Amino acid sequence: MHLLHRAGQFANDVFLLEAGECHLTPRQFTVLATVGGEEGLTQTELVERTGIDRSTLADIVARLLARGLIRRRRAKQDGRAYEIRLTRVGEKTLSDAQPCAVAADTRLLSKLPPAKRQEFLESLYLIVGDGKD
């Protein structure tokens, strides 16, 4: 557990170094990228897709709303839920941040021998699962 926690802290630090000029945290980037890939998700669906807990996700959504990066409206299927969509500013921010995120991933994986990188990623996917367990 401790090593996974330390690795997560290191990954966070590397992301902030690479994407600092975008003024996004790794979790904010994750939410923007998830919404950008599947517009109209509800906050509950975002929790399921990202693995971010409900209260943290609610805080991230509030911050992204305040920055004008996302907008929300009542879901047609469920009037109690909100659908989240990117604004034009959010689309640009995500587009600008994507190369930084790739650079962060590349920098992180460079710590591993090339032959172990894919195996490492596959192991991480096994650990986090796909949410169907």
**What are phi and psi for residue 113, nearest 5 degrees?**
-60, 140
Q: What ranges do the domains of the chain cover?
A: 2-128
Q: What is the pLDDT of residue 132?
A: 46
Query: What is the C-alpha separation between 70 and 93, in angstroms, rounded?
Result: 11
Q: What is the pTM of this model?
A: 0.86
Q: What is the pLDDT of residue 81?
A: 81
| CATH level 2 (architecture), domain 2-128 | Orthogonal Bundle (1.10)
Q: What is the pLDDT of residue 133?
A: 45
Write out pLDDT tens, residues 81-96. 889 999 999 999 999 9
